[in-house]
């Protein structure tokens, strides 16, 4: 696919439409209930939704804040925002009052679409503002749906420039105030085109979709690849092992977070026969353990393809469709994208050295919503975005993420990269997973702490784990404290919340 064509001045939905099947009655998605929605349904329903929003007075560039459960109607709403030139602003369904107060006040939406259970809350938040509040439940029913019943599907998709904002996605806010990343029609178009090319999507594919819609992984990566290739998907409300196992024989591609794959491996029915018609399993949003990669390959006959992206850039790198997929690596830069590793002065480092990962390409957002100064700080003089990740790139171009810059531990003046220690811990017998953090230390500045989850009924001691680590790394990297816990705190996409762990164990080295 021509990446240049994907970045031309065109509404993202209009680009999708060019790649729809010639027969618009071809299936787009099927649900657990056996309902099938076609590409023609997507066109008609999104036109009705767009017409309703437009008739309410929404103009190009107005924000539409959305906190709803996953349903086909939620997708029609996303398409409607693209078609109308409105800015789609999805929110995690777990966000509570304090978080919602910030998001609504910062985004200043002209319309809010929410689950009926949150209607009164949102109405209170915008009572002094000109903002429509409409409901949409998990079945796709509600005030917005009712408004479309008497609406004709005759909305003309509006022209948009590549630089027009299509989506407003906020960071999780685990460190400081959440920032709204403005992703443009051109950003999403270029990135989706690169993914369809890199992962070999075609109209013959069927995607198993079990991801949430409020996150870039499920919405822009998953559904974007479906639309730009004209294929279909099995549309599950959430990840449920039984439902996924039942759906696998119907599908050819699955996208998931590592937790999806580790849970499949706990079921004896998961084997190469079940995966006979699958061609690709893709993992992202959190690191995939090499042990999971190896066991999955043995059980299914497939190597999971791990990739790397972030809110501000969508996808940046991927292991190859054809070629070596390296456990622990996120592969090389996607077509049209440049990745580099630099020192503190933005000087590029030689292959194999660890430094700050930076990215440049048509996928990279132009900046944060109403944060001009912060946006400028995040870009180098030559236009690279500072990802905040620490990484190394080898001579073959494969990228290995060693941790977030904020996660790096400086102990006794020496840099300690948590991922290096976690990789060794995770390979040990009896260790299910681990997280390594730093905590204030009176002598070293920061002391290394390992938080470990055991597998099965195994009993592990901190001293025994440290003894096993000792032959594998320098003394300054060894944990000074090890805590064995039942589970690690995670966000909705499976990422370990190290900020929670740092707070929990902040006083570990205090005298007492």
Within a domain: 490: yes
**Domain range for residue 415?**
408-504
Q: Measured between alpha carbons, how far apart are the two ends of the chain, in Å?
A: 63
Cα–Cα dist 148/145, whole Å: 5
Q: Do 449 and 505 meet the contact criterion of CB atoms below 8 Å apart?
A: yes
Q: Give percent of the chain with pLDDT exceeding 90.
A: 77
Q: Flag whether pLDDT at 342 surpasses 80.
A: yes
Q: pTM of the entire structure? A: 0.84
Q: Do 208 and 251 meet the contact criterion of CB atoms below 8 Å apart?
A: yes
Adjacent-strand bridge partners of 481? 449
The helix or strand, by DSSP H or E, that contains position 386, with its residue range, turns out to be: strand 385-393
Span 314-318, average pLDDT:
97
Question: How do residues 183-238 score in pLDDT, each as one tens digit?
Answer: 999 999 999 999 999 999 999 999 999 999 988 999 999 999 999 999 999 999 99
pLDDT at 7: 54
Within a domain: 60: no
pLDDT at 175: 45
Q: How many of the other CB atoms lie within 10 Å of CB of 345?
A: 5
Q: Do 122 and 114 meet the contact criterion of CB atoms below 8 Å apart?
A: yes
Quickly state the pLDDT bin for 258 (edges 50, 70, 90): confident
Burial letters 316-331, b for 16+ CB under 10 A, else e: bbbbeeeeebbbbbbb
User: The domain that contains 437 carries what CATH number?
Assistant: 3.30.300.30
Within a domain: 461: yes
pLDDT at 118: 96
Could you write out the DSSP letters of every residue in 28-73?
Answer: EEEETTS-EEEHHHHHHHHHHHHHHHHHTT--TT-EEEEE----HH
Span 144-160, average pLDDT:
93
Within a domain: 486: yes
| Number of domains composing the chain | 1
**Where does residue 52 rank: exposed (0-12), middle (13-18), buried (19+ CB within 10 A)?**
buried
Question: How do residues 156-183 score in pLDDT, each as one tens digit?
Answer: 999 999 999 999 998 754 445 789 999 9
């Amino acid at each position: 696919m021509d990446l240049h064509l994907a970045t031309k001045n065109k509404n993202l939905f209009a680009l999708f439409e060019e790649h729809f099947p010639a027969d618009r009655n071809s299936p787009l998605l099927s649900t657990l209930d056996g309902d099938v929605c076609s590409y023609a349904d997507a066109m008609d329903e999104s036109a009705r939704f767009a017409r309703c929003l437009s008739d309410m007075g929404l103009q190009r560039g107005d924000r539409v804040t959305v906190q709803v459960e996953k349903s086909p109607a939620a997708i029609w709403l996303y398409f409607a925002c693209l078609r109308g030139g409105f800015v789609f602003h999805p929110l995690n369904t777990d966000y509570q009052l304090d978080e919602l107060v910030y998001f609504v006040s910062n985004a200043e939406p002209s319309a809010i679409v929410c689950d009926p259970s949150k209607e009164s809350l949102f109405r209170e938040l915008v009572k002094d503002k000109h903002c429509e509040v409409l409901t949409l439940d998990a079945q796709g029913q509600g005030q917005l749906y009712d408004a479309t019943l008497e609406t004709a599907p005759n909305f003309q998709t509006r022209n948009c420039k590549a630089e027009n904002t299509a989506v407003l996605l906020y960071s999780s806010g685990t460190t400081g105030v959440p920032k709204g990343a403005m992703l443009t029609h051109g950003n999403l178009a270029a990135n989706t085109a690169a993914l369809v090319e890199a992962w070999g999507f075609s109209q013959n594919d069927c995607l198993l979709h079990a991801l949430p819609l409020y996150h870039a992984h499920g919405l822009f990566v998953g559904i974007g690849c479906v639309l730009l290739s004209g294929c279909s998907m099995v549309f599950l409300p959430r990840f449920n092992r039984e439902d996924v196992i039942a759906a696998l024989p119907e599908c050819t591609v699955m996208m998931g977070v590592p937790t999806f794959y580790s849970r499949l491996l706990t079921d004896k029915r998961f084997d190469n026969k079940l995966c006979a018609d699958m061609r690709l399993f893709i993992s992202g949003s959190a690191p995939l353990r090499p042990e999971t990669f190896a066991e999955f390959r043995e059980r299914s006959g497939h190597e999971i393809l791990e990739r790397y992206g972030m809110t501000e850039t969508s996808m940046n790198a991927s292991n190859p469709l054809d070629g070596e997929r390296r456990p622990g690596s996120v592969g090389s830069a996607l077509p049209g994208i440049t990745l580099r590793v630099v020192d503190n002065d933005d000087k590029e480092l030689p292959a194999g050295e660890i430094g700050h990962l930076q990215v440049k390409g048509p996928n990279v957002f132009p900046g944060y919503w109403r944060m001009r100064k912060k946006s400028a700080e995040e870009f180098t003089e030559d236009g690279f975005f500072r990802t905040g990740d620490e990484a190394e790139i080898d001579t073959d171009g494969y990228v290995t993420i060693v941790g977030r810059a904020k996660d790096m531990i400086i102990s006794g003046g020496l840099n300690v990269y948590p991922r290096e220690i976690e990789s060794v811990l995770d390979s040990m017998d009896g260790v299910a997973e681990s997280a390594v953090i730093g905590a204030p230390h009176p002598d070293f500045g920061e002391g290394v702490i390992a938080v470990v989850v055991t597998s099965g009924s195994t009993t592990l001691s901190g001293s025994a784990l440290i003894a096993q680590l000792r032959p594998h790394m320098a003394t300054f990297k060894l944990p000074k404290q090890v805590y064995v816990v039942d589970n690690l705190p995670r966000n909705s996409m499976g990422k370990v919340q190290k900020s929670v762990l740092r707070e929990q164990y902040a006083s570990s080295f205090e005298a007492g």
